[in-house]
Amino acid sequence: MSSVPSAKKLYPYYEVLSGWDCNLRCAYCFVRHKKPVCNDPAYITAYLTAMYERDARLNFYDNPYAPRIGFIGGEPLLHPELIDHALTFAHELNMKYGLNEDIRCTIATNGTLIAGSREVQDLLTKWKDRVHVIFSIDGTKEAHDMFRVDAEGRGSWEQALEGYRVAREIIGNDACRAKMTPCRATAPYLSEGAITLFEAGFDTIECSCVLEEYWDESEADYVYSLYQPVTEYLLKNRLWDVKTFYPLSRLHTWMCRLNQNTTCSCFKKGMNCLGVDGIVYGCHRMAVSECPHPYGHLENGNFVVDDASLPDKALNAWQSRPAKCLECEIGYHCFNCVSSMFDCDFDDLTAYHKRYSQCGWTKGTFRARMDFKDRIAQLETPQE
């Protein structure tokens, strides 16, 4: 029997919001206002300078592990020049601080701009050994095009898949992964969508439901059933060590722990996000929230903390869960987004949790995850 994979190294992680603008108008996107505003290169330079200085002082750098930089939007690939600027400067900082490993970054994109943009392709080519691209693709064309549409209401599935095909030729398939975001309308396509993306070439798929929707505890059996076709596909074809569908991942199973708040990265290991206005937030969702909670700001090239209590509030937000959640034997599998809580009511997080909005989704997913793990164990156990 193969062993459970070991936990990955934690890196300092800095997010940069490219801007509020996007070429798509996805219906369930939490960026409610698509403003034609992009970030300022001077802010990016000051932000990276301040983060490197702070984390070097805190001994966050454990050679050869350099920080990771995440580009989020809006749509980051509307501004490839900003990404190039940030990576060039971060490379210089790596050299300054004697980090043996070079800069790494992730770009979260809808993928539709890659095939038609020479500037984007040149960016990927220049940084092809340093870039990982996460494609927001909701599986099948039917499911994807329900909500991921442009300003004229046209679906974007073909452009997203073509963008993936172009990107993988440049940066390699290992540097590409898909991100599915099922909602109630598209949940019936969950397994078909995952299989579609696997057969299109993706080896890794992340998948988490729209947080704003409600899944009653009584719906756990239905949610469990949504995973069964992709479970059978992976088992029948013995793909569990080749293809990774993160809701079913054995590594994910063992890393989930409520008291570590592992499902939210906000403020962990130095994570912050630079907003478009020189304000620093805990994560990108906080940066675009209609109820913002800024952590600090950039002033004369320095990072100034405005709310020193915010990291502890974010990291300990799980403690506000009611007794039912804290005592739940699978509570550590609940997906937790600090910013989504703060969007509702910063001062009464217990009321937010008492909606129990993810019970059905979590219980169904947990059952599918354990079933998948146990069936792999059976297949990997030598038969007498």
User: Which range (89-93, 161-165, 285-289) has the least confidence?
Assistant: 285-289
Q: Model-level pTM?
A: 0.91
**166 has pLDDT over 80:** yes
Q: Tell me how crowded residue 357 is: count the other CB atoms within 10 A of its CB.
A: 19
Amino acid present at 26: C
Q: In which band, very low, low, confident or very high, does the pLDDT at 384 lie, cut at 50, 70 and 90? A: low
Average pLDDT along the chain? 87
Q: Residue 348: what pLDDT? A: 76
Q: Residue 383: what pLDDT? A: 66
Q: In which band, very low, low, confident or very high, does the pLDDT at 6 lie, cut at 50, 70 and 90? A: very low
More confident residue, 67 or 220: 220
**Closest residue by Cα to residue 20 from 70, 75, 65:** 75
Which residues sit opposite 16 in a β-bridge? Answer: 71, 274
**Domain boundaries along the sequence of the chain:** 13-312
Cα–Cα distance list, 271 to 13, 52, 281 (Å): 5, 12, 9
And the tokens for 275?
């907003």
The average pLDDT across 262-282 equals 84
Q: Residue 108: what pLDDT? A: 96
Amino acid present at 97: Y
Which residues sit opposite 131 in a β-bridge? Answer: 105
Rounded Cα–Cα distance for residues 276 and 18 (Å): 7
Q: Residue 346: what pLDDT? A: 60
The average pLDDT across 190-205 equals 98
Write down the CATH number for the domain with range 13-312.
Answer: 3.20.20.70
